[in-house]
Amino acid sequence: MINKSKAFNAIAVAALVIGMLLALIPFWILFVNSFSSEEYLTLHGYSIWPREFSTAAYEYLLNAGSSIGRAYFMSAVISAIGVSASLVMTVLFAYPLSHKELPGRNLFSFLLFFTMLFNGGLVPTYMVYTNILNVKDSLAGMIVPYLLMNAFYVIMVRTYFTSSIPGEVTEAAQIDGATYLSCLIRIVVPMSKPILATVALMTLINYWNNWTNGIYFLQTRTDYYGIQNYLNDVMNKATFLQSHMTGSMLGFKVPNTSVRMAIAVIAVIPLLVAYPFFQKYFVKGITLGSVKG
């Protein structure tokens, strides 16, 4: 029996190591090739080890414009506002749904779940946001459409409230005179840090990686571009320059392939920095409901 247990542990550890390598190797290749020369990448493709070290891609990004710092700042502002607003709306929607005595609870739950299966389509959604909500060429266009409310996150938070917050605690507080809002702010929210941190991290990733809102809703106000839209614009310009070089420009090398690697590195660094702060809560929150006590 002991030998079987050791064999299982060895297989499990080996499987975890393989999974870890499969997750880390793409990031390593991305980072290494962002420092490789354009000539080497063009002739030999990607390599797992540095070849012909060059910082041309990062120099190109820095010289392409002075607005990369502003793009980072805008992404930070958009993500901060979006995550905060999304958490507030998610909690305020999930908390009433976690109470069975809520009038029309089944109807609200059905309407919430319905939005996960069906939507109005791209064109009608765009018309509603631009003609009715007037988010075109505004900061709201980067925050509100598609990202501000996620039905799946509401269901996750509601499930956590139902399964992990003892009803006796809130009932005792209500007997002492606490209102539903007081129970939510002083009891439920402090006891829900794992799930709230999980939702915050996933919402942060959605906002940070989003670039479609900038394409759809920003036509003249490119100063609202986040880092993803800015880097996409830089990459498009590099591709255009490389494909439209004239005779007088042939001596100028545009690091198109290595720029793509550098763009990905620059975009992913903030998320890699933020993840460790959420990790301990993320592990608890993502496994909600797996253990009942």
Residue 57 near residue 255 (C-beta atoms within 8 A): yes
Q: What is the pLDDT along the chain (293 residues), one digit of tens a residue?
A: 556 677 888 888 899 899 888 888 888 888 888 888 777 777 777 778 777 787 777 877 777 655 777 888 888 899 999 999 999 999 999 999 988 888 888 899 898 888 888 887 888 888 989 888 888 888 889 999 888 888 899 998 998 888 888 878 888 888 888 888 888 888 888 888 888 988 888 898 899 888 888 888 988 888 888 888 887 777 777 666 666 655 444 444 555 677 778 877 877 888 787 777 776 666 655 555 443 43
| Partners of 36 in beta bridges | 53
- Is the CATH number 1.10.3720.10 carried by domain 64-286? yes
| Partners of 236 in beta bridges | none
Q: Which residue stretches of the chain are H helix? A: 2-34, 38-44, 56-63, 68-97, 105-117, 122-127, 140-143, 151-164, 167-175, 180-183, 193-209, 212-217, 227-243, 256-286
pLDDT at 43: 75
Domain ranges of the chain: 64-286
Which of 101, 111, 86, 94 lies closest to 161, judged by CA? 94
pTM (whole model) above 0.75:
yes
pLDDT at 3: 64
